[in-house]
Amino acid sequence: MFDIGLGEILVLGVLALLIFGPEQLPKVAAQAGRAVRQLRETAGSARKELTEGTGLDSIGDDLKSLADLHPKRILSSTLSDSGTDKAATSPENGSRVGGSAATAGAAPTGSGQTTNQPAPSAPAAFDPDAT
């Protein structure tokens, strides 16, 4: 919130010590603490009254449900709900679809079908100017 560094805090402390003196500084600090606490309580109660009076609680719930419609969350919840075994298993023969690199080009056992996937070749050339 405030971008105050350690050096600035020390300068403010020294100024407060010079202005109020060592006898009055603890009393002033206690009064400032009470004032900040009272201000926070007042702001909290005002926020609570405004939320209850305007019905913003239901809007907050609606916004949270809208946040669940983010495409990344939908995709991750879909993938986590379906499970890896259900999505990766082929219904015809029970073999894993797109398995390891060693079995990617081989036909599933017992099915007599071959895959139309190209054999792995050299990696694609990297173009640093493309990005």
Residue 50 lies in a domain: yes
Domain that residue 50 falls in: 14-55
Residue 29 lies in a domain: yes
On whether the CB atoms of residues 65 and 74 are closer than 8 A, the answer is no
Task: List, for residues 19-73, the tens digit of each pLDDT value.
Answer: 999 999 999 999 999 999 999 999 999 988 888 887 766 677 777 777 777 788 8
Give the rounded distance of the alpha carbon of 99 from its chain centre.
Answer: 32
| Total number of domains constituting the chain | 1
Quick check: helix, strand or coil at residue 20? helix
pTM: 0.39
